[in-house]
Amino acid sequence: MSSVAHKLGVSKADLLDPTSSDASVKQAHAETHVIQETKAYFQSNGIDLKAFEIRERDDKVILLKNFPFGTKPDELRKLLSEFGVLRQLLMPPDGTIAIAEFTTAPSARAAFAGLAYRRFKDGILFLEKGPKGLCTGPITASTASVTPGINAKVSVSDLRDFGAVEQGNQEATTLFVRNLSFNTTADGFASAFQPLQGFVWARLKTKPDPKKPDQTLSMGFGFVGFEKLEQAHAAIAAMDGYSLDNHKILVKIAHKGADEASKTKAADTRNTAAMKGTKLIIKNLPFEVTKHDIRSLFGYAPSPSFSCN
């Protein structure tokens, strides 16, 4: 509705006037208009809309939804580029959805894990993996993501003779970096590893600043992804003990599989214990909700133990 109101040069209140007898008709027309223009834009930029009928997902393609109206493509591009190199970003003029295509699947997976349900401006980002065969056309100048060239300072061949490259799990291409200064920024963290050969993405773990809700604080560790195992080992040899913002960082292979298994087991234990209980916690309720509203929603009979604070 914001998109249509902006295009027509009227206020959103004019489209959503509750006193108007045809308000629902106006909304339906606006929605249809946006859908048709969005389809036309994607088709003109090489998107095969029939691909949405395919159930198989593409690990390199992400659909972005629910970002606030007025968001610029460059804002989304900057957000996504923290996790790797974008091949292209498509965002229709109506600004209600975007399609991002990464050059590598690990980058797209990292972006999906890092941005799904993340707060962005005054909303929450919704992400979905795109279907196979969605992006079929050539990249245009308006949709391409420009990435500066990277000149490698350390190569695998330079370190092979010193035993820095070892044989191991070919999937272990993610590095765990700790002992980071809390003053290190996401850009500074990525810049330290970006010149290395095979660099794909870097992610600094952060948490909300309790004193400044709109800002984040470093948690003192992060992850870096590389294309190949030997490149990851070369990065360890080059960066372990490297001084970044006056902190000697510690770098090792991230044993993601073991970590995820441990987390899954712990989560299963918690869920099993929770299933034995008879109480539910209901969150994210509007401030104006009443006990009667909740009881009606759940078909709940009044009880002295029921609380709604």
Domain boundaries, the chain: 2-131, 156-256
CB atoms < 10 A from the CB of 128, how many?
Answer: 14
Enter the pTM of the model: 0.46
Q: Which residue has the tokens 């490259």?
A: 165
Rounded CA gap, 10 and 2, in Å?
A: 10
Indicate the CATH number for domain 156-256.
3.30.70.330
Is the Cα torsion angle 178, 179, 184, 190 positive or negative in sign?
Answer: negative
Distance of CA 209 to the CA centre of its chain: 20
Superfamily of domain 2-131: RRM (RNA recognition motif) domain (3.30.70.330)
Q: Which of 53, 62, 49, 48 is nearest to 130 (CA)?
A: 62
Q: What pLDDT is attached to residue 168?
A: 40
Q: Packing angle between helix 186-193 and helix 229-239, nearest 10 degrees?
A: 110
Digit-coded pLDDT (tens) for 90-133: 999 888 899 999 999 999 999 999 999 999 988 899 999 999 98
Digit-coded pLDDT (tens) for 34-82: 888 888 889 888 898 888 888 899 999 999 999 988 899 999 999 999 9
Same fold, 2-131 and 156-256: yes
CB atoms < 10 A from the CB of 125, how many?
Answer: 17
Q: What pLDDT is attached to residue 275?
A: 62
Strands 247-248 and 250-253: unpaired
Digit-coded pLDDT (tens) for 144-176: 554 433 333 344 443 333 333 333 443 468 898
